[in-house]
Amino acid sequence: MLALFPLLDRNAYHLDLATGVGIYVILAMGLNVVVGFAGLLNLGYAAFFAIGAYVYALLSLHAHTPFWIGLPISGVVAMGFGFVIGLPAIRVRGDYLAITTLGFGEIVRIAFNNLSAWTGGPNGLLGIERPKIWAPTWKGHFGFELISFGVSALPYFYLVLVLIAVIAFFLFRLMDSKFGRALVAIREDELAASCMGIPVVQIKLCAFGISSFIAGLAGCVFAAKQTIVTPDSFDFILSVLILAMVVLGGMGNIWGAALGAVVLGFLPEILREFAAYRMLIFGVLMILVMIFRPQGILGGQLIRRELTRPIKEGS
């Protein structure tokens, strides 16, 4: 049904907006692996998004690497950084984990802002190559021609849509696997999971790596679409926004995270006529949802019971 959207609405701005929201959906589903499945609070997720974007930008500008090769490389490099930050971070819990990931996110942004020789500093990197595909053509005879995506939003829309479908399929299969059940067990009771023989540290580390890999893919697509990346695009506010998408849609629910991204992605556009009060309305809506639907829009009843569990006397 989503694939038919360009046929129903040919407005270039609407397609571009839908593509941007699609990138949010990818990020929200990726963060949901750590926050929703494993129960680990990550406040520096924008850092892995930035790493994926800058990796492809550097590969494109200095090595003229095609997008289709740069896409998995960006994901793998971001995953590598996920392992590096995850190894010390997952040994702490709660607020300490949040502070650790927050610090990493700021370190990455400041590093990209100051390494001018490599990243262009505050001005960022310009002239990033757009994706190209072999398309069938007819010029007197049938053949194939290498065509760039160009500035049209249509090919990026379908690219993001395909990525969402592949990532969603992978995550659904992941949750039905032994690894997915181990993640849920760790989220519910880490001590009990450890006593049952689940390698808690290794499972958490893998969750960080998978989440970072997905963010790296989104960063590569973002860089190819914008053809420019700057440190200001990956600030702390972006990490908080992605986390809000996961919480709003329903932690631990794959389609819930996607729905939260769609709602918060389109909401600023819907409230554009109330520009002066847009953030106020946005905040009030978030508060109301957390009061009357604490498990999120599509959150399960298990999470609701956890959030409303009565506190025992003397505890």
Whether 269 maps to a domain, the answer reads: yes
Q: Is the pTM of this model over 0.85?
A: yes
Domain count, the chain: 1
Whether 315 maps to a domain, the answer reads: no
DSSP 92: S
Q: Which of these, 4, 8, 204, lies nearest to 93 by C-alpha position?
A: 204
| pLDDT tens series, the chain, 315 aa | 888 888 888 788 889 999 999 999 999 999 999 998 888 888 899 999 999 999 999 999 999 899 999 999 999 999 999 998 888 877 777 778 888 888 989 999 999 999 888 888 889 899 899 998 877 776 666 667 778 888 888 899 999 999 999 999 999 999 888 998 998 888 888 888 889 888 988 998 999 999 999 999 999 999 999 999 999 989 888 998 999 899 888 888 889 899 999 988 888 787 777 767 777 877 887 788 878 887 788 875 555 555 555 555 444
**Is residue 90 within 8 Å of 100, Cβ to Cβ?**
no
Whether 47 maps to a domain, the answer reads: yes
DSSP, collapsed to helix, strand or coil, labels residue 47 as helix
Q: Return the C-alpha torsion angle 163, 169, 175, 177, nearest 10.
A: -120
Q: Which domain holds residue 206?
A: 2-307
Whether 314 maps to a domain, the answer reads: no
Whether 171 maps to a domain, the answer reads: yes
Q: How far apart are CA 21 and CA 266, in angstroms?
A: 7
